[in-house]
Structure 1
Amino acid sequence: MFLLLQILFFLVGSGIGQQCQIAQKCVTDFSENDCWMAEQLVPNSHIYNCCPSCQQSPGEIPPTTGCNPPANCLPDGTYGPVQCKGDTFTGRCFCSNENGTRIFGQMWRADASQMTCACSRRRAELEATEKRSVTLHCTRTGDYEPLQCDNGMCWCAEPRTGQPTAGPVPEADMRQLPCYRSSLVGTQYLRQCESVVHAIATIQREQMEHGTSFLGNPVTFCDYDGSYGPFQIRNGIAYCTGRDGEILGSWQTVSSEMTGMNCNCARDTMLYFPERGMTVTENCQPNGNYVPNQNVGNVFYCVDSDGYPTTDFLDEWPPGNCMDTPTSKRNKLSLDAPYV
């Protein structure tokens, strides 16, 4: 609809205003009739604020979700694959999708200089766009494992980029690949958790074909490295679990109320911090998430879903008890650029 003519791409100073001034003409055939019911024609809102566009009416504009510094942002305004929080001692880097949502893969910040999250980002993209089960295997830090199989084919991959270094061959012939190691892979590519998911799916499919459905069937979730995910559902109860699928502590909730459950606090308390020789000092909710409002004696502060402070130390919790801390403030206070 829009055509911006004769824009001269030379240095004329800084700022959007200067860029717009060098546009000779903005041609558009847009009118109010081209906008949806909840939109209105807004002048100077498109292409360096030079051309009109249809935008949602005031009061209906959703909050900005784009990436903003000091988060690690890509040139197109999306979040970079690696996002880091905290200081060098207790800080960690997490893998992220383009919207800034944490996905599988993490590493202690002091050791994360080579972390790419390339595998985790790619697998998340495939699952979101192709709506299918993806069996790419990522390391615990979000990089590619050397041997990869998906859609019945296997190949060797460069860990940091995922670029093929050998193959592809049918999965039945994966032993012929130079990256195959029987001590690491065994006789089949799928890990125990993934095999359980496959078996459960087969049982459910057979039940549907016979017109039956059994209540209380377990639901198994796997992480991108093939280990068990942070929670599993058994008999209608969602439990926080370790990488081996074993229940962690007493963190649980009924499956109908598990929306937002991530078990980050439970896993940090039982797995990640002890592996580092450290102890989690924050409190967990009954479902294994971090309690948003934390305190040590008379010192109060808010934390994000990963347990990192989002406010300074306070004399009391802010209004809402940290439940409504603005996203922009959380990102500004808890996200730092990754080590590169």
Structure 2
Amino acid sequence: SLYEKEFRKKCGQIFIDNFCEHVQCLSIESCPDGFELIENIVGRKCCPACVKLLDENDECIPESMSNSNDDQIERCKNGMICDHMEKRCRLPNIEQSSIQPPCLREYHNRWMVRQNKKFYIMSANNAMKSFFPIQYAYEQFLPHCTFEGNYSPKQPSRNKAYCVNPNDGKPTFGIIDSHRSINQTCKCSQIMQDKLALAIDRLNPSKKDIKLDKVITEFNSDTHMKCKFSGNFQEVQCINGTCLCVDEKNGQPLLDPKEILNLDWARKNAKILYQPSQPKYIRWESAVVYGALNRLVCFDEENQKKKLSDKPIEKSYEEECFTEVHRSNKMVNHFAKKGTTLDGLTNTKCGFDDNYFRVQCPDAACTCHDPDGVPIAPYRADSTLSQEMDCRCALEEYLSKTGKLPVGILRCNGMGNFKPMQCSSNGQICYCIDNNGARISERFLTENIQNFKLKTSGNYHIEDLCQIMQNTLSVTNNQLIQGDEQFCYDPLKKTFKLCDEPSVDHIFMN
């Protein structure tokens, strides 16, 4: 632009290339209802802003017709475009579902089924044309996607916000109460996931991968950046005996005390951080040796002193899980350099916050664990099922019961995963959920489905219908629902497909 050309003349290329480093952005503590905090969207793409993200079919203003450019705070979300003819948000190339990014496909189908769509169970008797409807939930979880169409690393839902893999939307590490998620970025979780994507999933101790084992051992034998339980960076990072403060949102070092005191939490605790009349309480240092850790302005004594180890052999700032894994992996790595292989020292897995990972497979069985390493009873499974066991339901059950995450307790299966069908009233009234615990159907009576099943020769479990309903809205479904189409389940072929709305005469009535 002419603005940038003029800037280059006055300030030089180096300043232009690092322009955002010289921009001071306003602090945003929260956004009003209907708006979302988006990074790097105003101030020449340097600063965050509260943006109203428009849904599919919402009226919009094409960018070429907008006068606000960078300062525009209304735009189509999830990689959709503003149609120049209709001036409404829509998916690009809606007819070509195969080229749609996975996040856009899932978003579109979830958005469409909110519009009074039903999941129809077809008759298993060819001589009887009948359909049983299960209403999709209006309050569907809608995935958050980047403007490029990938999954946003942070996925906020009704009562929680969690971190996911941007490529497939599967949860990785990091969860927090949605009311306290304004500063959650999942950047630490994303970086760690890129480094250890294979390691965290490979829990079966019977499977060996020499090359991957070497990567894991070398990683755990050295110090690395630590994440918070939310998926952000821990404010205090210690490497090789030196500790410093970092920005929890991006992990960048905070070396200027004034910069630290501009943070929300620092302003709220200003009396603790700076008391001129009591010099011994002044904590201005932003980088110190380990022994002076409590003088860091970002050090929270009440919550973090439990991590301090004063053992004479090793002074460290770490969680119990990492202490165990670091010591054994350091030994394995040391002997490996000398040509000696050590096996079986530990099978413990740590999460990205260096606490115990929720799934542990120390031997032939896998169990669910809380962050302190205590088993969450009664969830366990054979280690051959480790890839199917995620323990996320068991972990949320633990977090809810201990008051650390205010989510409703859902029913888990034996492996600690969410049960697709959630019921009350002795199993008579049920609804379906997705694999993240979000509701996808309205309530239904199991007795009615059982009657339909008997009268139409159905050979399926009612619980399985929720799993199939999950699949219609999953990232793996390449079918885009449009217009008056519905999803129908064919029990003879044991698969679902897009179908036309059945006539009233063919809908099963009790």
Which category of TM-score, normalised to the shorter sequence, fits these structures?
0.5 to 0.7
How far, CA to CA, are the matches of 2:428 and 2:292 in structure 1?
59
Mapped partners of 1:318, 1:326: distance in 2 = 14
Q: Which of 185, 197, 201 is residue 325 of structure 2 equivalent to?
A: 197
Kindly tell me: are residues 276 and 235 of structure 1, through their superposed partners in 2, closer, same or farther at Cα, counting changes over 3 Å? Answer: closer
Residues 174 and 180 in structure 1, CA contact (< 8 A), matched pair in contact too = no
Q: Does the 8 Å CA contact 1:310/1:330 hold for their aligned counterparts?
A: no
User: Paired residue for 2:152?
Assistant: 80
Q: Of 413, 418, 428, which aligns to 1:298?
A: 428
Higher share of residues assigned strand:
1
The correspondence of residues 31-50 of structure 1 with structure 2, limited to 5 A, is: none
Of residues 376, 391, 396, the one that matches 1:268 is: 396
Equivalent residue in structure 1 for 2:179, among 103, 110, 115: 110
Report the TM-score, using the length of structure 1 for normalisation: 0.66
Tell whether the 8 Å contact from 1:155 to 1:174 is kept in structure 2 after alignment: no
TM-score of the aligned structures, taking structure 2 as reference length: 0.46
Q: Is residue 325 of structure 1 aligned with residue 469 of structure 2?
A: yes
Residue 92 (structure 1) aligns with: 160
Q: Is the 8 A contact 1:117 1:143 kept in 2?
A: yes
- TM-superposed deviation, 1:292: 1.6
Against the structure 1 CA distance between its residues 223 and 171, is the aligned structure 2 distance closer, same or farther, given a 3 Å change threshold? farther
Counterpart CA distance in 2 for 1:279 and 1:71 is 19
Which structure 1 residue ranges, 5 or more long, are not aligned? 1-8, 19-47, 50-57, 332-340
How far did 1:244 drift? 1.0
Q: Which amino acid aligns with 1:148?
A: Q
Partner of residue 102, structure 2 = 65
Aligned residue pairs: how many?
A: 280
Q: Does residue 251 of the first structure (1) align with residue 379 of the second (2)?
A: yes
What amino acid does structure 2 have at the position aligned with 1:313? Answer: R
DSSP-derived class of the 2:151 partner:
coil
The verdict on how the C-alpha distance between 1:197 and 1:14 changes in structure 2, with shifts beyond 3 A counting, is closer
**Which residue of structure 1 lines up, in the alignment, with residue 268 of structure 2?**
none
2-structure distance, mates of 1:14, 1:66: 18
* 232, 254, 259: which one aligns with 1:165: 254
Q: Indicate the residue corresponding to 1:219 in structure 2.
A: 347
**Quick one: which amino acid aligns to residue 271 of structure 1?**
L
Relative to structure 1, the CA distance from residue 207 to residue 151 in structure 2 (aligned partners, 3 Å threshold; closer, same or farther) is closer
Task: Give the structure with higher Rg (CA).
Answer: 2
**SS of 1:75 mapped into structure 2:** coil
Q: What SS is found at the alignment partner of 2:366?
A: strand
2:193 aligned to which of 117, 121, 124: 124
1:311 aligns with 2:379: no
Alignment-mate amino acid for residue 147 of structure 1: V
Moved more, 318-327 or 230-239: 318-327
- Tell me how far 1:194 sits from its aligned partner: 0.8
Q: Give the aligned CA root-mean-square deviation in angstroms.
A: 4.1
Asked if 2 retains the 8 angstrom alpha-carbon contact of 1:82 and 1:94, the reply is yes
For 2:368 and 2:463, locate their aligned partners in 1 and report how far apart those are by CA, in whole Å: 30
Q: Is the 8 A contact 2:397 2:410 kept in 1?
A: no
Q: Report the AA paired with residue 290 of structure 1.
A: F
Shift of 1:153: 7.3
If asked which structure has higher relative contact order (CA below 8 Å, sep 6+), I would say 2
**Rounded Cα–Cα distance in structure 2 between residues aligned with 1:108 and 1:276:** 8
What CA distance in whole angstroms lies between the structure 2 residues aligned with 1:188 and 1:203? 17
Q: Write the deviation string for residues 90-126 of structure 1: whole angstroms up to 9, x where unpaired.
A: x211122312221222122233233222322233234
Would you say the 8 A contact 2:241–2:316 is kept in 1? Answer: no
Distance in 1 (CA, whole Å) between partners of 2:174 and 2:351 is: 9
Partner of 2:228: 139
Corresponding residue SS for 2:102: coil
Instruction: Give % identity.
Output: 22
Alpha-carbon distance, 1:288 to partner: 1.1
- Going from structure 1 to structure 2, the CA distance change for 1:323 and 1:14 (only over 3 Å counts) comes to closer
- SS of equivalent to 1:166: coil
In the alignment, the residues of structure 2 paired with residue 227 and residue 77 of structure 1 have an alpha-carbon distance, to the nearest angstrom, of: 33
